[in-house]
Amino acid sequence: MAKYKVPALLWIVFEVVAVVLWRATGNLFYLGNFSYIGTALATGTALATGTALYLANWRYARHAVQFAIGTYMLVYLGFLCHENMQIEGFWYYLFLGSFEAATIHYAVAKIFGPLVFGRGWCGYACWTAMVLDLLPYKVPATHERRSFGWLRYVTFVASLAFVGALFLLGVPNLADVMWIAFIVGNVIYYVVGIALAFALKDNRAFCKYICPVTVFLKPMSKRAVVRVTCDKDKCISCGKCRKICPMDVDVTDNSLDRRNGTECILCMECTKVCPKKAL
């Protein structure tokens, strides 16, 4: 029964959030929203690990979940409901003192949620990464990190400064401005992400060096409950897991300080190539 723990834990966490927010706000939307996301995540992780319907590991399970959640948030919440779910939207609602939309999304998926499921958002729900993961460089050309990871802090501060300036300057029609920022921001993310992937031959280069959301995700993921661990008695140190990891994580090290430990997106590629099922 141990193999069912992760899908069940994910579903329970999101269902609890769904019910609590629904009862606290009286808004049925939260029940449907978080129930949908939790069910998609639980189903996807079950299919990815071969725990659903006694199927073998389905190689496209994670990508299916990415599009199920990513398109829902980008198309439905973003383009149809005009909710800015980017980091700019988080600052906007935070400055308004409104605990809804992007503020709730960030609290659950990117600030407190990672204490449970680490960088799982990046692997299973990000609408930017769902496109980047389709590019040809699933395994990075080099596992050596570049020296410009500090750029994520620049984009993080820039997003805060942009929204802060809007409020300080008293810009009218802020809701319309944030809607335009949502469209422009997504276009920039996709263009930069795709260009960087081809330049560095690494689909996840944007996630490693540019994405401002990682400023929240990295420290909160350090002690995540759900994480890949290694059975040292089975491991033969073949190195296959480290070669295939898109985020350059040393999953053979079970310590909290393992190499790039806060980068793991739970893609489970390492578990698929391990010849001894040590992960």
Q: What residues have CB less than 8 Å from 261, skipping those under 6 apart?
A: 221, 222, 249, 250, 253, 255
Check pLDDT > 70 for residue 16: yes
What gap in Å lies between CA 152 and CA 193, rounded to an integer? 13
Check pLDDT > 50 for residue 146: yes
Tracing tokens 């990464």 back to the chain, one arrives at 129
Q: Note the pLDDT of residue 2.
A: 52
Check pLDDT > 80 for residue 239: yes
What gap in Å lies between CA 103 and CA 258, rounded to an integer? 31
What share of the chain in percent tops pLDDT 70? 95
Q: What residues have CB less than 8 Å from 93, skipping those under 6 apart?
A: 99, 100, 101, 102, 103
One-letter identity of residue 77: L
CA 173, distance to chain mean position in Å, is 31
Q: What residues have CB less than 8 Å from 20, skipping those under 6 apart?
A: none
